[in-house]
C-alpha cells in the first residue's frame, strides 16, 4: 500500500485513519467514513481501486469535483473517467466501451444515471470491485443537502452483492448516519470517525464595524492567494465584488441567481487561479476541490455552526495554514430573523433559532474557539489554549474590572434579571429609550452610572464576565445574562476582579501565515508561474500539476535530479515523467544564479508552527509615508515605487486610519470636486465606494473618490 501511495499519489505517509479504512475495504467489508473536509477521504477509495480487480464506481453529486478528481488521477498515471450531463452522447459511448473493455480503473458517475434502466444494465456488465458513495449524507432527508436521486442507490447492494460499499461524508448527525446505513443496505459496516480538528486552520471573529476597511487590511499582502468571502445575499456578493475590484483586487460574485454558464465560468476562473477572490452565497463551495484556499471570510455571521464548519473546511485543504474570519455584529440578527419569520413549522423555526443562537454564542466567546467548535460536534478537546484562534493568542494583559463589574451585576439585579445585555448597557449608559421610560428604569440607582466605558467595551466586559463564570446565559430562547453563584460571592464579599484588557478593535493585527517550510519565496513564485503555464496548456487546474505543499518543498530542498525530486511530497512516478524536467530546470537555474546548495531530505519533516499575530503596518507603508512627507504627488509615488496608483491611495487610507499624524492637505481634491463627492457620500454612506461612484455617474475615478473619503473621515 505504501508503494502505491508514493508511486501514484506522491505521499510517504498515510493521514490518520486512511490506512485502517483502506485495509477494511481490501478485506471486502463495507465502510462508513465520517471525515472533515480536507481530511483525505478520496484516497480511501482511490488507492484500494488500484489493488482491487475490476473497476471502482464512485457516485458523486458534484459535477465540477468529478472533473477535477479525474484530471488529478490522470496526471498521476491512473486510468479514470466520469459520466455526467456535461458530456456528449459520443463521449459517453466511448467511455462506456472503454469501461467494458477494462481500460478504466475508476469511473465517476452522477446519481441521476442510476434512474435510467439501460444504464443499470450497463453497470451489471461492469462487475465492479468497489463502490464508493461520496457525499453520502445526500441520501438522507435529514441531511443538509438531500438529493432525491440518491435514493436510487439503495439498488446497489442488490445489483452487486459481492462488491464492498464505502460511504463517505464530512458531516452527519446520528440520525443521518442511521439513514445512510439503512438506505444503502450496508452489511455490518465498520465505522471510521476521524477527528474534526483541523490544526492548520486559524479562527478569528472580528467586530463588524468599518467592515470593508478591515476586510481590505485582511486581504492586504494576499493578492496572489485564493479566498472565499461568504455574503448574506446575492446583492451583497455583487456589491462587495465590485468594491473589491475598485480597490484593485481580482474578485467575482457567485450566487444561484446567475445563469449556469456564468456560474461555471466563474468557478473555472477561480479553480485555475485566474481569479483570486470569490464573493459568494452558500451556493458556492460544494464541489470545490481547490486545496490552496488560504482565507475564508463570513462577511455576515452564518445561520448554523454545521454550515460554518463545512464552509471554513474549504480553507487549507493542502495542510498549509489558512485563516477563517467571521465578521460579527448583533445587528445582523435582524437579517436572519427576516427569514425566520417565513418558516411556518413552529418546531423547525425554534430549531433554526437555536442554531442561530449557537453561532452568536461562538462569536461572543472569550475562551478558545477551537475547543467550542470541536465540543459542539461531540469531540473532546483537552487543551485550554489551542494556539490557533484569536482568543488563545490575544495578549493576556488585564485591568481592574472590580467597579464596572459590580455596576453591571447590580443593573442585572435591579432590572430583575429579565433583559438582554444590550438593554442592561442602555440602562448603565443612561439612554432615554421608550422601553426604559415605560419600565421606569430611569429611576433606578444604576441608571447612567457608567461613563468611562463605551457600549462596545461594556459588551466585551459582559462577555469576559461570562468567560470568568460570574455571569451565565439564562435557559430558554433568549440570551439573558444571569448572575451565577460565583458572581453572587463576588458581589457579597466585594472581591477584586481582574479581566482581560480591552483591546481597541483597530484590526492592526493579522495572522502571520507561515508555511511548514521556510522556503525561498522567490523560487516558490517562479515555480508557481511555471505551474500555471503548464496547467493552461493542459486545460487543468494548477493544483492538478502540483500542490502548494509540493512547490514549497521544492523551494526549500532544491532537488537536483529525478531521484531527489521523487522525495518531494505529492510527487509520484508519473508526475516526474510528465513535469519533472521542466521544474528541475527552473530549480537548477535559480540555484546556480543565487549560489545555493540542495538541502538534505528529512522524511516527514514538519516544523511545529509558532502562531503569531503581527502588525499590519509593515515597512511598505513607511516608505509611502516618507514620500508623502516630501509632498510627492500620488502618480509620482506610484512610479517611483513601481506600484499602481490605487495601491498608494490604499496606503494613505491605512496610514490615516492608524491615527498617525501626517500632512496630506496637498492631495485634497479641489473644493468644487470635494463638495460634490461629499454630497454623494452623505446620500450613500461612506462604507463602500461603488454607491457614491454610481451616484456621481462615473464622473470621477475611484482614486479621487477614495481620497475625498479620507478627508471626510
Q: Reduced to 3 DSSP states, what percent helix, strand and coil does the chain have, rounded to the nearest 5?
A: 50, 10, 40
| Range(s) within the chain of domains with CATH label 3.40.50.300 | 2-193, 201-393
| Range(s) within the chain of domains with CATH label 1.10.10.10 | 398-502
CATH of the domain spanning 521-593, picked from 3.40.50.1010, 3.30.70.120, 1.10.150.80, 3.40.47.10: 1.10.150.80
What span, in angstroms and rounded, lies between the C-alpha atoms of 518 and 520? Answer: 7
What is the CATH code of the structural domain delimited by 2-193?
3.40.50.300
What is the CATH code of the structural domain delimited by 201-393?
3.40.50.300
**Domain 398-502, what fold?**
Arc Repressor Mutant, subunit A (1.10.10)
392 contacts: CB under 8 Å, gap ≥ 6 = 368, 369, 370, 385, 386
2 C-beta neighbours (distance < 10 Å), count: 11
What span, in angstroms and rounded, lies between the C-alpha atoms of 135 and 17? Answer: 18
Mean pLDDT within 439-456: 89
Mean pLDDT within 255-278: 90
656 C-beta neighbours (distance < 10 Å), count: 16
**611 neighbors 388 (Cβ within 8 angstroms):** yes
Query: Could you tell me which of 505, 523, 507, 504 has the C-alpha nearest to residue 515?
Result: 523
pLDDT band at 104 (very low <50, low <70, confident <90, very high): very high
Element (H, E) at 204: strand 201-207
Using DSSP, state whether 487 is helix, strand or coil: helix
- What pLDDT is recorded for position 608? 42
Q: Using one digit for the tens of pLDDT, what is the confidence trace for 168-177? A: 988 767 778 8
Question: 609: which 3 cell numbers?
Answer: 508552527
Q: Using one digit for the tens of pLDDT, what is the confidence trace for 324-375? A: 999 998 788 888 887 787 787 878 888 888 888 889 889 888 788 999 999 8
For the chain, what percent of residues have pLDDT higher than 70? 91
Lowest mean pLDDT among 51-55, 57-61, 215-219, 604-608: 604-608
Question: Cell numbers 467511455 label which residue?
Answer: 95
**165 neighbors 156 (Cβ within 8 angstroms):** yes
Specify which of 175-184, 377-386, 572-581 reaches the highest per-range mean pLDDT. 572-581
What span, in angstroms and rounded, lies between the C-alpha atoms of 470 and 587? Answer: 59
383 C-beta neighbours (distance < 10 Å), count: 10
- Cross-strand partners of 226: 293
Mean pLDDT within 222-228: 89
Q: Using one digit for the tens of pLDDT, what is the confidence trace for 131-148? A: 999 988 888 776 556 777
Is CATH 1.10.10.1390 correct for 617-712?
A: yes
- What pLDDT is recorded for position 260? 84
- What pLDDT is recorded for position 584? 96
Q: Using one digit for the tens of pLDDT, what is the confidence trace for 277-316? A: 999 987 676 557 788 999 999 999 998 888 898 889 889 8
Amino acid at each position: 500500500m505504501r508503494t502505491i501511495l508514493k508511486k501514484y499519489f506522491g505521499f510517504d505517509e498515510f493521514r490518520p485513519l486512511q490506512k485502517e479504512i483502506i485495509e477494511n475495504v481490501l478485506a471486502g467489508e463495507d465502510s462508513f467514513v465520517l471525515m472533515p473536509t480536507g481530511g483525505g477521504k478520496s484516497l480511501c477509495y482511490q488507492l484500494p481501486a488500484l489493488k482491487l480487480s475490476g473497476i471502482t464506481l464512485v457516485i458523486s453529486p458534484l459535477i465540477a469535483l468529478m472533473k477535477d478528481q479525474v484530471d488529478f488521477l490522470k496526471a498521476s498515471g491512473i486510468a479514470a473517467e466520469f459520466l455526467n450531463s456535461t458530456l456528449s452522447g459520443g463521449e459517453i459511448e466511448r467511455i462506456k466501451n472503454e469501461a467494458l473493455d477494462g481500460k478504466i480503473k475508476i469511473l465517476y458517475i452522477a446519481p441521476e444515471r442510476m434512474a435510467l434502466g439501460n444504464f443499470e444494465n450497463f453497470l451489471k456488465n461492469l462487475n465492479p470491485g468497489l463502490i464508493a458513495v461520496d457525499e453520502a449524507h445526500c441520501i438522507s432527508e435529514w441531511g443538509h443537502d438531500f438529493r432525491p436521486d440518491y435514493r436510487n442507490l439503495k439498488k446497489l447492494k442488490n445489483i452487486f452483492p459481492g462488491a464492498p460499499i464505502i460511504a463517505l461524508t464530512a458531516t452527519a448527525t446520528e440520525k443521518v448516519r442511521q439513514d445512510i446505513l439503512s438506505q444503502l443496505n450496508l452489511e455490518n459496516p465498520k465505522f471510521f470517525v476521524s477527528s474534526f480538528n483541523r490544526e492548520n486552520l486559524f479562527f478569528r471573529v472580528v467586530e463588524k464595524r468599518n467592515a470593508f476597511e478591515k476586510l481590505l487590511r485582511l486581504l492586504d499582502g494576499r493578492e496572489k492567494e485564493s479566498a472565499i468571502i461568504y455574503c448574506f445575499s446575492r446583492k451583497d456578493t455583487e456589491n462587495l465584488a465590485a468594491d473589491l475590484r475598485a480597490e484593485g483586487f481580482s474578485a467575482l460574485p457567485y450566487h444561484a441567481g446567475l445563469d449556469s454558464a456564468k456560474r461555471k465560468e466563474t468557478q473555472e476562473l477561480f479553480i485555475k487561479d485566474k481569479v483570486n477572490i470569490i464573493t459568494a452565497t452558500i451556493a458556492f463551495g460544494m464541489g470545490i476541490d481547490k486545496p490552496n484556499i488560504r482565507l475564508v471570510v463570513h462577511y455576515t455571521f452564518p445561520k448554523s455552526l454545521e454550515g460554518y464548519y463545512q464552509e471554513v473546511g474549504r480553507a487549507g485543504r493542502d495542510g498549509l495554514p489558512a485563516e477563517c474570519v467571521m465578521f460579527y455584529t448583533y445587528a445582523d440578527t435582524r437579517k436572519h430573523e427576516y427569514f425566520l419569520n417565513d418558516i411556518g413549522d413552529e418546531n423547525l423555526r425554534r430549531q433554526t433559532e437555536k442554531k442561530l443562537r449557537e453561532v452568536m454564542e461562538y462569536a461572543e466567546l472569550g475562551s478558545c474557539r477551537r475547543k467550542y467548535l470541536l465540543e459542539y460536534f461531540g469531540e473532546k478537546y483537552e487543551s485550554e489554549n489551542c494556539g490557533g484562534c484569536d482568543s488563545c493568542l490575544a495578549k493576556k494583559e488585564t485591568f481592574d474590572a472590580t467597579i464596572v463589574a459590580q455596576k453591571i451585576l447590580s443593573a442585572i439585579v435591579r432590572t430583575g434579571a429579565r433583559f438582554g445585555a444590550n438593554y442592561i448597557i442602555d440602562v448603565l449608559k443612561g439612554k432615554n429609550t421608550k422601553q426604559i421610560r415605560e419600565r421606569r428604569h430611569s429611576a433606578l440607582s444604576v441608571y447612567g452610572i457608567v461613563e468611562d466605558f463605551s457600549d462596545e467595551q461594556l459588551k466585551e466586559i459582559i462577555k469576559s464576565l461570562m468567560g470568568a463564570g460570574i455571569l451565565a446565559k439564562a435557559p430558554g430562547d433568549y440570551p439573558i445574562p444571569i448572575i451565577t453563584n460565583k458572581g453572587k460571592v463576588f458581589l457579597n464579599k466585594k472581591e477584586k476582579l481582574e479581566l482581560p484588557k480591552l483591546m481597541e478593535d483597530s484590526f492592526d493585527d493579522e495572522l502571520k501565515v507561515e508555511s511548514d517550510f521556510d522556503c525561498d519565496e522567490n523560487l516558490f513564485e517562479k515555480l508557481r508561474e511555471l505551474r500555471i503555464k503548464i496547467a493552461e496548456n493542459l486545460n487543468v487546474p494548477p493544483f492538478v500539476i502540483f500542490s502548494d505543499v509540493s512547490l514549497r518543498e521544492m523551494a526549500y530542498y532544491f532537488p537536483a535530479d529525478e531521484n531527489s525530486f521523487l522525495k518531494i511530497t505529492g510527487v509520484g512516478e508519473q508526475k516526474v515523467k510528465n513535469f519533472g524536467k521542466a521544474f528541475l530546470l527552473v530549480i537548477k537555474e535559480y540555484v546556480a544564479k543565487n549560489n545555493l546548495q540542495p538541502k538534505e531530505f528529512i522524511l516527514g519533516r514538519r516544523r511545529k508552527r509558532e502562531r503569531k499575530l503581527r502588525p499590519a503596518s509593515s515597512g511598505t507603508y513607511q516608505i509611502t509615508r516618507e514620500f508623502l512627507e516630501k509632498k510627492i504627488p500620488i502618480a509620482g509615488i506610484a512610479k517611483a515605487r513601481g506600484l499602481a496608483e490605487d495601491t498608494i491611495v490604499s496606503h494613505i487610507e491605512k496610514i490615516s486610519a492608524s491615527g498617525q499624524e501626517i500632512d496630506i492637505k496637498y492631495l485634497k481634491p479641489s473644493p468644487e470636486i470635494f463638495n460634490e463627492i461629499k454630497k454623494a457620500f452623505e446620500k450613500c454612506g461612506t462604507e463602500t465606494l461603488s454607491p457614491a461612484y454610481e451616484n456621481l455617474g462615473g464622473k470621477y475615478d475611484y482614486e479621487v473618490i477614495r481620497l475625498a473619503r479620507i478627508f471626510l473621515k
